[in-house]
Structures are given as structure tokens and as C-alpha cells.
Amino acid sequence: MIEILFYMAGAIALIATVAALTQTNAAHALIYLIVSLLAVAVLFFLLGAPFAAALEILIYAGAIMVLFVFVIMMLNLGEAGRSREREWLAGRNWLLPGVMAALLLFELVLAVRHAPSLTSGLAVDPKAVGLSLFGPYLLAVEIASMLLMAGLVGAYHLGRRFIVRRTGRR
């Protein structure tokens, strides 16, 4: 019976992804994309990877999506921003994503109630991940840190010129 949760979450992930990539309004697409990421996080939890599920929500649905929101809001400054914002707050835009997210929360509650059976067997706990990450995969951690450093420097370089020109022109 608990297997149904997996297929439900998978269907929600697929539907939300298709809905996200076929929208014309970037902000609406972002809401659907967040629902899709939440669905994938529930899939991770059901597959016995609670650490990965938490990271998916924190970093993907939290940090990376906030970057998208910032850029969309920055690009929409100026013409007709307020009426567009009022349109975004209309109920029909967030009703379907809200229903999907509520379904995912329901699934998560059900899964947590089944937690002893879910985290037994082949589930991988965070301790094993940490031990392996800072044991045999230490070089990969270093490479990831160098990659993040390169991303930080690159993003600062691109964004700094944007900000300086904008304030200099005023």
C-alpha cells in the first residue's frame, strides 16, 4: 500500500515539471518548479535517503529557487510591476500548486508514520553518508569546494559590473 505513495509523488513530479516548462509567465513556472522539487524530495525520503531529501528542500527548493525569484523580480522592476504583482496574487495561479504541495505533505505524514519500516533494510542514514564523504570521497569534497569558489567569483564578477553600471548611470 505504501508503494502507492511513491507513484503519487512521481506523478506529481512529472505533472508539475511539465506544467512548469509550458508556462509563459516565469513566476508561475517557478511555483510549479518548486512543487516538482518538493515531490522529488518526497521521492528521496521514500527511497530511504532522508539526508538527501532534506538537502533537496533546503538547497534546491530554498536557495537556488530564491536566486531565480531574485532575478525575475529584478528583471520585472519598472513598467507595470505593480499590476503584474497583483495578478500574481490571484487565487487561480497558486491553487493547483497549493493542492499538489498539500498532497505531498499528506504523503510525507503517511510516510513518517510508516518510518520504522521505511528506514529499515537498505535505507542509508546520514552518518554513513558523512563517514563516506569525508573518508574515501575527500578529494571530491575539495573539488566541489573549488567549483563553488569558481561559481562565487564568477557570479560576483558578472553581478558587480551590473550593479556598478546601474548605480553609476543614475
Partner 1 sequence: MEGLQIPLQHVLLLAGALFTCGLAGLILRRNIIFMLMSLEVMLNSAALAFIAAGARWGQPDGQIIFLLILSVAAAEVSVGLGLVLQIQRRFKTLDMDQANRLRG
Under the binding rule (CB under 8 A), the answer on residue 34 touching partner 1 is no
Contact set for partner 1, span 61-80 (CB under 8 A): 63-64, 67-68, 70-72, 74-75
Binding segment for partner 1 (CB under 8 A), chosen from 12-20, 80-88, 96-104, is: 12-20
Size of the site for partner 1 (CB under 8 A): 71
Choose between 80 and 91: whose C-beta lies nearer to partner 1.
80
3-state secondary structure 22-45: CCCCHHHHHHHHHHHHHHHHHHHH
The residue among 18 and 105 lying less far from partner 1, judged by its C-beta, is 18
* 158 alpha-carbon distance from chain centroid: 24
With CA atoms as reference, report the closest residue to 12 among 38, 51, 47, 44: 38
CB of 86 to partner 1, least distance (A): 21
Query: Measured from the CB atom, is 95 or 141 closer to partner 1?
Result: 141
Q: Is 162 an interacting residue with respect to partner 1 (CB under 8 A)?
A: yes
Instruction: Judge residue 75's burial from the number of C-beta atoms within 10 Å of its C-beta, 0-12 exposed, 13-18 middle, 19 or more buried.
Output: exposed
Residue positions counted in the chain = 170
Query: Which residues contact residue 68 at a Cβ distance below 8 angstroms, ignoring those fewer than 6 apart?
Result: 26, 30, 33
59: contact with partner 1 by CB under 8 A: yes
Query: Quick one: 89 or 158, whose CB is closer to partner 1?
Result: 158
